[in-house]
Structure 1
Amino acid sequence: MRKIYYLLFFISAIAFAQKGKLSGQVSGSGAPIPAVTVSVPELSILIAADENGNYQINNIPYGTYKVTFSFIGFETQKKKVTINKPATVLNIQLKESNTALDEVVITGTMREVRRADSPVPVEIITPKLFKKNPTTSLFEAVGMVNGVQPQLNCNVCNTGDIHINGMEGPYTLILIDGMPIVSALSTVYGLNGIPNSLVERIEVVKGPASSLYGSEAMGGIINVITKNPDRAPVISADSFLTSWGELSVDVGGKFTAGKATSLIGVNYFNYNSRIDNNGDNFTDMTLQNRVSIFNKWNFERKNNRVASLGARYVYEDRWGGEMNWGKQWRGSDSIYGESIYTKRLEVIGLYQLPFSESIFTQFSYNYHNQNSWYGNTPYMADQHVGFLQTYWDKPIGDNHTLLLGASMRYTVYDDNTPATASADGTDNKPNETPLPGLFIQDEWKLNEKHKLLGGYRFDYDKNHGGVHSPRVAYKFAPNTNNTIRASFGTGFRVVNLFTEDHAALTGAREVIIAEELDPERSYNANLNYVLKVPTDSFFLNFDITGFYTYFTNKIVGDFDSDPNKIIYDNLRGHAISQGVSLNVDATFTFPLKIMAGISYMDVFQKEENETGRLERIQQLHAPKWSGNFIGTYKLPNNYSVDVTGNWYGPMRLPILPNDYRPEYSPWFCITNIQFTKKFDYGLEIYTGMKNIFDFVPKDPIIRPFDPFDKYTDVNNPNGYTFDPSYNYASLQGRRVFIGMRYNLF
């Protein structure tokens, strides 16, 4: 028996001592990939493939191992391999990663194309990106894109808009699933309440897009793409709490009913802390109570045709003002407060017609009700917007793709301002605006290196007649590492003053409309260059864009002529928005990724002064220099740390005559840090700090002790009046947050 044991032990020792060889080639995009990292963690083996993508690992003990193949610009691939013979061959095909611009985008051309193939540059924010700095709304999240500035317009109620390349919110068209669901009255609040857990990605197009999406896309587009219910997690949740008392809860889930799959989500945000750190007796942040419910359905059809239907309802109660304000003071002139009730309903749908051709119909409806008081100034408004669009996506031969469509948008708007008063001012007359349009686009692949896109849109406005919006874009890619894109287009926009400019409603200044406002017209041009630099130790991606927009007419509020008034009239001159932005992504072979951006922009208007000469006026809230940065380092055991931030140079601010506050803001930076621990079963715990350097503006409100201007003639040699519009950053200081995410697939 003892001999048998010795024999078994000897055989086992021989088997254990047997070793084999693992070899093969790593390729991707049809070519070998040099210097790919090949590792076997169980054996602490780490090698690099040669210049032809070939690798070889000798003396591997027989057994089963996980082999990892990684290279910058490509998705990491793990393979389980069993070594039980002298030589084992394993060839690997790596796929390009997101760093190599492999995402599918639709916003630039209204068609699904690889981001790298799009003739129009498209920037993407994924949930993975904006989770690096958790936010309570998408309004804050889009600020992670270089050149996109979420701008707060009031220090009391904290309403804001999105500036792209220095142009104000009304020049940015906000879409949900490709449809213009957020416009006019809802622009200020449109991105609040969209559940972050239900967002698949956000696509941002800077520059002309009017030929496809209409006149409101003069400055750019933000398209919020919601998740496909078929690919969404069964359960998702994301909730965090800050030391200021902000509570954000996102919960989503999906279920199947017959041949349909449904995705439902709820977003709840509550902030009920009266904080006044600067001692002006006004709340530093608007108190809010908001709930949003979202539901989307996908229906299974023959031949994989598309059909979806979604709806969202939002209710929000927000107020800001004096610390002792209560709802009993709403609308009074005793204690100042700005109180806004918002109710909003949205319905969106997409249906592919049952033809052999690819013909799609999109439709949407939204209702927006705002019941608000700005001190003792009421603003009550209702808006209904119906939208219907049908388009035909038709390939013509191998090189042309034609897009032909028609749309109809019908807007009904009513409020208690002169905007909806009859001509003699004695009666209320809601605005009804039908806007039919036709558009055509041809995407022409000249060859593998050249692509040309031409587009034209015609809209008919009942007050201003036909509107022509041509667009042309060109893409040249001599190789996979260099891409040049150029585009040109025109814009046309009818100003909806009271729905777009919150400053006209605060009650702090009298609104003067000096004359009938004409439409705004613009000419836009963009030039973009993308350079990818792969090396053995890191991957660099440079993305530089120059932009130029010329306005023949631009409606901008005049805060300078009279401290008690905002004066609106047509521009007797011209306006220009121009600049350049640079984005740099750096991914290293060790677990570090850095993204950084810098923008220079010059936004101004030239208008005739009293002498008839053109005078240059710098635009408010448009810093010449700005930038962002994101750094991620992955630690062992699924820990990671993220550092994010935005910085801004001086921006011109609205000041009063003889104002003691500077006309330009200082340089400042808002920096955040987050630590995350991921668990294997879909759970993440994260904590961190926002605004770690505790930057807040000084003296944001002038004369906060007299918000109704009752005592301006008492001990007031400079004639100051109450004004909360001196704003360039949030008044929230340093705060700690802790949160939890969970996804079950």
Structure 2
Amino acid sequence: MKGVKNYSICILIMLLFSLKGQSQHDTNKIIAIKGTVSNQGEPLPFCNVYIEGTIKGTTTNEKGEYTLKVRHGDYTIIAQSLGFKKGKKKVHLDKDTVVNFSLEEDALGLDQVVVTATKTNLNRKEAPVLVTVTDSKILQGTQSSSLLDGLNFQPGLRTENNCQNCGFSQIRINGLDGAYSQILINNRPIFSSLNGVYGLDQIPANMIKQVEVTRGGGSAIFGANAIAGTINIITNDPVEDSFEINSKFNLIDLNTPESILTFNSSNVSEDVRKGITFFGMYRNRKEFDANNDGFSEITKLNNLNFGFKSFYEFNDYEKLFAEFITIYELRRGGDQFELPSHQALIAEEIKNNIVSGGVTYDYFTKDYKNKISLYGNVINTKANNYYGTNQDPDGYGITKDFTALAGIQHTAKFEHNDEKSITLTSGIETNYNIITEDRKNALISYFQQKVHTAGIFSQIDWKITKDLKVLTGVRGEYFKSNRYYKTLFIVNPRLNVLYNFNDSWNFRAGYSKGFRAPQFFSEDVHSEIITGEIRNVQLASDLKEETSNSFIASLEYSHQDEGNQFLINLEGFFTRINNPFVYENRGVGSNGLLVKEKINGSNATVNGVNLEIKYSPNYDLIFQLGGTLQNGYYQNTYQPEDGITTNKILRSPQAYANAFINYTPKKWDFNLSAVYTGPMYTTHLAGFISQNELVKTPNMVDVGLNAGYTFEINEEQELKITTGFKNLFNSYQQDFDRGIDRDPTYIYGPLLPRTFLLGLKYSSK
């Protein structure tokens, strides 16, 4: 920790000098910039207007008007709004000046502002790290109820259901399972391992503004687990007065009902100095039995959540953000749902109570070239659960997970113009997590794990020339756990390069190192039920941390003119994982329960290519296509289950793809989507079948089709009706096991069979 302390002192000294250097300019003359932002003569309210190269900015009011105050000098003014191309004007200011903008529509979001690349707001075309975005248009167009439903529509991403009993789901990036991805909420790594088991299905789509994804290692800036990539969930901001009530009804396999009710409401003050947005969701789904054997393939689900996000500007230099969400969820799988869990033949029931909140305080120096962010987040989860078979009265237990995060980040912008710029981002972050499990079964001991991590990071985003940009950074991560025999300090560097051949072509390349610490994750902590047998997981006595080396390169072409937009991106990736965690059976333990041990396997490799194509001939029509070809394998063979020997990374298809078409003529809204999953290998465990098998799954294509029409109620309100189908051609698994001896983890393919949907949305304009 001595190195961490010394580096912290250096950051603080640098910060003090940068603040002192700004004070000498306090007497400079203040200039007022005023103007309007419009589109085709109509004002654009709540549009971002800011000074390029600084963090100084504001938002237009309901009439599209804005005011900025700066010191005299030469500036580049930027106007930017979701769904519109960026406006940019250079001005020399020595007196009060009027600067107006007329923005053109941006159907593909080529000029989107992203934060995941560098932990600072940046136009995605200027980011040295490739960031792809799933926005609210795709979530709405695919009729996604939760985050889980909408994440398939990016190259390299694939969601899956891993258990018929509990509905455990995960997202894979470039073929690696969910444990290798860092999930952020509003840039904070607050998503704990327990929340990662069911959390993708608990985050309602109506609270999401956009989902930013970086593929490849990101541990240098975001910490542990960011080996395959980073998923950053950006929630809706309060930008205007609005409300929306949305009711959805799904009929799974045309006979199993699911109802969803969501609401959104925002209020912003006239001076745009404070605002708050509320969101909520109620979801009720009946269990689904695909083969009529009395046991569920899709869990029964009851979910209720509520939250808000708000901001308050004290003045031009200080801003406070606050967010909060609470979730109650009941999910149950197995059989005989009318009976208590312990009277069923198989039951997995989880009652989750989650409370999460956070605050962020931003401070800017008077020239807006320095920004300090102080932040803190907590999330507390309590899960009352039952895992049992054959009417076991001792299957009840309680799992608790508490995570607290705090940090400080400093961003400094130095010389900044069209030719050269330097942005330095540094910070210190600490994370404390405690997970406990107490089970009624006396054979299963009380479990408690405490993990403390502390990271210190710094990176430089350096625009060397107009066409060449370099991003380099490093993070040191301290790890300590009461369940691991030594303390770790791991250094993770990164290097990324962006080169613009011209306005249309650019090339990116990068290297990053990542790691995962040796510890129990939530899926290790609770006993798992496999064909009626309870297993415990233990850590090997010589277990080492995983490390990774990732290389990624991409070539992108984008073009836009008055009539259309086009983007194509080809990305190659290579990741080598050293000492990866794998599980092997260790027979029966001293308590009479089966044991799986987490050990270090032989080195693993994933490599392949991602392709993304987008085309929009006009703002009413969007085509999107994404695809992945990949290969994932271990250097040596291992035994994931008795009788199965392989070197393959399981549940990782060599080919998968997605497509999305959105057409919105006048008041109509037509959406066509498709997700292709190629063959992959997965285990099929004995029980219903006589012995363990390694199975190659078939090709599967999930096609969705829906249409909506918007009725105008009056000048301020409207009603939209939507109907259609998910998985229209019923490309769904056909070989589920039957009965009490089934393998509930033998599940693959689309999340739902053919499903009819009907939706009503009542909202302000």
**Fold equivalence (TM over 0.5):** yes
Query: What is the SS of the residue equivalent to 2:201?
Result: coil
Q: Quick one: which amino acid aligns to residue 110 of structure 2?
A: L
Q: Report 1:462-501 matches (<5 A).
A: 462=480, 463-500=486-523
Counterpart of 2:150 in structure 1 is: 141
The answer as to 2:169 corresponding to 1:176 is: no
Checking the alignment, whether the CA contact within 8 Å between 2:638 and 2:647 is kept in structure 1 is: no
CA gap of 1:541–1:375, structure 2 versus 1, over 3 A, is: same
Q: Check the 8 A contact 1:551/1:576 in 2, yes or no.
A: yes
| 2:114 matches 1:105 | yes
Opposite residue 254 of structure 1, the aligned amino acid is: S
User: 1:199 is aligned with what amino acid?
Assistant: I
Which structure 2 residues correspond to residues 297-696 of structure 1 after superposition, within 5 A?
Answer: 297-322=310-335, 324-328=336-340, 330-332=341-343, 334-353=344-363, 355-356=365-366, 357-376=370-389, 377-398=395-416, 399-416=421-438, 428=446, 430-462=448-480, 463-500=486-523, 505-508=528-531, 509=533, 510-511=535-536, 513=538, 515-516=540-541, 517-533=543-559, 539-558=565-584, 567-588=596-617, 591-607=620-636, 617-635=647-665, 637-656=666-685, 663-680=695-712, 681-696=717-732
Query: How many percent of aligned residue pairs carry the same amino acid?
Result: 23
Q: Tell me how far 1:215 sits from its aligned partner.
A: 1.0
Q: Name the CA shift for 1:300/1:327 in 2 (closer, same or farther; >3 Å).
A: farther
Shift of 1:560: 12
Instruction: Classify the secondary structure of the residue corresponding to 2:615.
Output: strand
Cα contact 1:264–1:295 (8 A) shared by 2: yes
Q: Assess if the C-alpha contact under 8 Å between 2:130 and 2:508 holds in 1.
A: yes
Q: Matches of 1:526 and 1:677 in 2, distance apart?
A: 43
1:615-661 per-position Cα deviation (integer Å, ceiling 9, x unaligned):
861111100000000112334x4223211010111011112366598
- Of residues 252-261 and 687-696 in structure 1, the stretch that sits farther from structure 2 once superposed is 252-261
Letter in 2 for 1:599: T
Q: 2:203 maps to what in 1? A: 194
Q: Which has the larger radius of gyration?
A: 1
**CA contact 1:560–1:654 (8 Å) conserved in 2:** no
Q: 2:276 aligns with which of 250, 258, 262?
A: 262
CA contact (8 A) 2:459 2:472 kept: yes
After TM superposition, list the pairs within 5 Å mapping 1:15-30 onto structure 2: none
Is the aligned partner of 1:697 residue 2:722?
A: no
Judged with a 3 Å threshold, the aligned counterparts in structure 2 of structure 1 residues 560 and 627 are, in CA distance, closer, same or farther, namely farther
Range 217-226 or range 551-560, more displaced: 551-560
Matched, 1:271 2:285: yes
The 3-state SS of whatever aligns with 2:529 is coil
CA deviation after TM superposition for structure 1 residue 607, in Å = 2.5
- Aligned counterpart, 1:50: none
2:746 matched to 1:726? yes
> Kindly tell me: are residues 538 and 359 of structure 1, through their superposed partners in 2, closer, same or farther at Cα, counting changes over 3 Å?
closer
Quickly say closer, same or farther: Cα 1:545–1:144, change in 2 above 3 A.
same
Q: Which amino acid aligns with 1:741?
A: K
Cα distance, 1:738–1:512 mapped onto 2, change above 3 Å: closer
C-alpha deviations, 1:39-58, integer Å up to 9, x for none?
Answer: xxxxxxxxxxxxxxxxxxxx
Structure 1 residues 107, 577: closer, same or farther in 2, change over 3 A?
same
d(CA) in 2 for partners of 1:665, 1:565:
28
Q: 1:241 to 1:639 in 2, by over 3 A?
A: same
The equivalent position to 2:740 in structure 1, one of 687, 706, 712, is 706
The one-letter code of the counterpart of 1:101 is L
Cα 1:579–1:233 shift into 2, 3 Å: farther
Q: Aligned AA for 1:458?
A: G
Distance in 2, Cα, partners of 1:225 & 1:162: 17
In structure 2, relative to structure 1, the CA distance for the partners of 1:500 and 1:679 (3 Å cut) is same
Q: In 1, Cα distance between the equivalents of 2:539 and 2:413?
A: 51
Distance 1:391 1:536 in 2: 40
For residues 233 and 505 of structure 1, the distance between their equivalents in structure 2, rounded to whole angstroms, comes to 47
More moved, 165-174 vs 566-575: 566-575
Report the Cα distance in structure 2 between the residues aligned to 1:346 and 1:447, rounded to whole angstroms.
Answer: 43
Q: Deviations over 1:147-186 (max 9, x none)?
A: 2111111022221111111111111111111111212111
RMSD over equivalenced CA pairs, Å: 3.1
* Aligned residue number for residue 253 of structure 1: 265
- Once the two structures are overlaid, the 10-residue window that deviates more, 99-108 or 440-449, is 99-108
SS state at 1:441 partner: strand
Q: Counterpart in 1 of 2:218?
A: 209
Asked if structure 2 preserves the Cα contact closer than 8 Å seen for 1:338 and 1:374, the reply is yes
Give distance in 2, aligned partners of 1:527 and 1:167. Answer: 18
Seen in structure 2, the aligned counterparts of structure 1 residues 76 and 314 have a Cα distance that, compared at 3 Å, is closer
**1:558-578 per-position Cα deviation (integer Å, ceiling 9, x unaligned):** 48999x967334234211111
Per-residue Cα deviation, 1:64-103 (whole angstroms, up to 9, x for no partner): xxxxxxxxx99599xxxxxxxxxxxxx9965472536201
Higher mean alpha-carbon deviation, 434-443 vs 96-105, is at 96-105
Assess if the C-alpha contact under 8 Å between 2:620 and 2:664 holds in 1.
Answer: yes
Measure how far apart 1:501 and its partner are: 5.4
Q: Could you tell me which amino acid in structure 2 is paired with residue 644 of structure 1?
A: S
Distance 1:536 1:453, change over 3 A: closer
Letter in 2 for 1:302: N
> What CA distance in whole angstroms lies between the structure 2 residues aligned with 1:76 and 1:308?
27
Cα shift at 1:379: 5.0
Cα distance, 1:466–1:560 mapped onto 2, change above 3 Å: closer
TM-score (norm 2): 0.77
Indicate which of 265, 287, 305 corresponds to 2:300.
287
Q: Give the match's secondary structure for 2:681.
A: coil
Distance 1:113 1:172 in 2: 22
Runs (5+) with no aligned partner, structure 2: 1-39, 41-81, 87-99, 390-394, 481-485, 640-644
Unaligned 5+ residue runs, structure 1? 1-37, 39-72, 78-90, 708-721
Determine the C-alpha separation between the residues in 2 that align with 1:179 and 1:487: 23
The answer to whether the 8 Å contact 1:559/1:654 transfers is no
Higher mean Cα deviation, 722-731 or 553-562? 553-562
Matched residue SS, 2:220: helix
| Aligned residue type for 1:452 | V
How big is the shift at 1:253? 1.1
Which whole-Å CA distance do the structure 2 matches of 1:571 and 1:237 have between them?
50
CA distance 1:169–1:233, change in 2 (3 Å): farther
Task: Name 2:79's counterpart in structure 1.
Answer: none
Supply the AA of the counterpart residue of 1:482: W
> What SS is found at the alignment partner of 1:416?
strand
SS of structure 1 residue aligned to 2:150: helix
Rounded Cα–Cα distance in structure 2 between residues aligned with 1:215 and 1:254: 35
**Amino acid aligned to 2:571:** T
1:559 and 1:428 map into 2 onto residues whose CA distance is: 22
Classify the secondary structure of the residue corresponding to 1:144: coil
Query: Cα 1:595–1:501, aligned 2, differ >3 Å: closer, same or farther?
Result: farther
Indicate if the aligned counterparts of 2:670 and 2:707 stay in contact, CA closer than 8 A.
yes
Post-superposition offset of 1:587 = 1.9
1:557–1:566 CA contact under 8 A, matched in 2: no
With the length of structure 1 as denominator, give the TM-score of the two structures.
Answer: 0.79
